[in-house]
Amino acid sequence: MNYRRVADLTVDTRQFAQENLSDVDLVVGIPRSGLLAANLLCLHLNVPMTDVDRLCEGRLMDSGERCAEDLSLREFDSVLVVDDSVRSGSQMTETRNRLEEHEFPFDLSYGAIYVSTRGCEYVDHWEEVVPMPRIFEWNTMHHPVLNDACVDIDGVLCRDPTPMENDDGDRYREFLSTVDPNIVPDQRIGHLVTSRLETYRPETENWLDEHGVQYDNLVMMDLPSKAARQERGNHAQYKIEVYDSTEALLFIESDPRQAAEINRRTDKPVLCYETMEMFQPGRVKRSYRTAGRFASRFRDNPVSFTTAAVKHLFYRNYYFISDRIS
């Protein structure tokens, strides 16, 4: 799983600004993520910035009196339209087609900080080719990879309960029913994997439905009480077993120690949501382990294995195929 953090974007955008962009005197960001890259880029280049809508209207995204005034497009000679990344090229192509409808008095060029192996065909400038599958820190929870991922609930979709709330009784049920979401992904999640007990499934399902969280599977601990869960003390092991039982491409875990343990024991990628650190697998070890696991599953249940394998291959090749048919 190729992963880039906001810190990487900052460094790579500065490098991008230093390479062949000295003549750019206006940066245009493509919403939404492109505005992040455009903002960093215009600061490094020390030039004004706008977005696609405002460019078409002749307005800048700026502070002060100049923002309220009409923009004289003749002030600019070279304008760069930029996105954070280009994968299939559909968004960049749509933007190009829209801007071609206008007769601007300056030269337009197009760029992105990150491109896929095919994405470079749709831009004039780019900083780095990042092959698929890939995710970025700033859009992880809105990325299609969630369709085939395991995602923790407490600490990710909502905050953890306080010790007072976590009484395994009425206060805990109130927490489960009323806690505000941290984030509501706009992608369907393949597997929600939580250490909450099965007895709290109704409250959990109601909360997820109330806040519009879409998912395929909700996996909860099948233990009689909080005390039994604490006595067993195997939160990471439980999540490891769930992750191993699926062909999910990623586990998003809230706790740094559990994230590291899940990664070490499964040799599969784990993103710690608290720190936004990606724990990556060791490739050689993973290959041997995966081969053995697949062989064992096929022997135990050929039909179930084939169904799961088809789904896994579909999601794993989603990015590869879409890049090439765009």
b/e sequence 108-131, b meaning 16+ C-beta within 10 Å: bbbbbbbbbebbeebbebbbeebe
CATH number at residue 73: 3.40.50.2020
| Beta carbons within 10 angstroms of residue 88's beta carbon | 18
| Beta carbons within 10 angstroms of residue 299's beta carbon | 9
Indicate if 126 and 247 belong to the same structural domain. no
> Is residue 117 domain-resident?
yes
In the chain, the amino acid numbered 172 is: Y
Do the beta carbons of residue 309 and residue 296 sit within 8 Å?
A: no
The residue among 298, 261, 290, 257 whose CA lies nearest residue 274 is 257
pLDDT score recorded for residue 297: 52
> Is residue 180 domain-resident?
yes
Indicate if 147 and 160 belong to the same structural domain. yes
In the chain, the amino acid numbered 123 is: V
Indicate if 263 and 134 belong to the same structural domain. no
Do the beta carbons of residue 272 and residue 152 sit within 8 Å?
A: no
Domain span at 129: 2-138
Between 286 and 208, the more confident residue is 208
Q: 252 - beta bridge partners?
A: 151, 271
Indicate if 130 and 150 belong to the same structural domain. no
Indicate if 34 and 61 belong to the same structural domain. yes
Indicate if 48 and 147 belong to the same structural domain. no
Q: Please tell me the least confidently modeled range out of 6-20, 106-120, 149-163, 230-244.
A: 230-244
Q: Please tell me the least confidently modeled range out of 39-48, 185-194, 222-231, 253-262.
A: 222-231
The pLDDT mean for the chain works out to: 87
The residue among 91, 97, 89 whose CA lies nearest residue 120 is 89
Indicate if 204 and 298 belong to the same structural domain. yes
Per the structure, the count of domains in the chain is: 2
Indicate if 149 and 296 belong to the same structural domain. yes
> Is residue 244 domain-resident?
yes
Q: 125 - beta bridge partners?
A: 111
pLDDT score recorded for residue 276: 97
Q: 149 - beta bridge partners?
A: 250
Match 């994968």 to its residue by tokens: 87
Indicate if 182 and 110 belong to the same structural domain. no
pLDDT score recorded for residue 69: 52
Is residue 289 pLDDT above 60, yes or no? no
- Mean pLDDT (whole number) for 217-227: 92
Q: What percent of the chain has pLDDT over 90?
A: 75
**In angstroms, rounded to a whole number, what is the distance separating the alpha carbons of residues 134 and 84?**
13
Name the domain boundary from 138, 157, 177.
138
Could you report the per-residue pLDDT of 254-288, keeping only the tens digit for each? 999 999 999 999 999 999 999 999 999 984 344 44
Could you report the per-residue pLDDT of 96-147, keeping only the tens digit for each? 999 999 999 999 999 999 999 999 999 999 999 999 889 999 999 999 999 9
Name the domain boundary from 138, 166, 185.
138
> Taking the model in full, what pTM does it have?
0.80
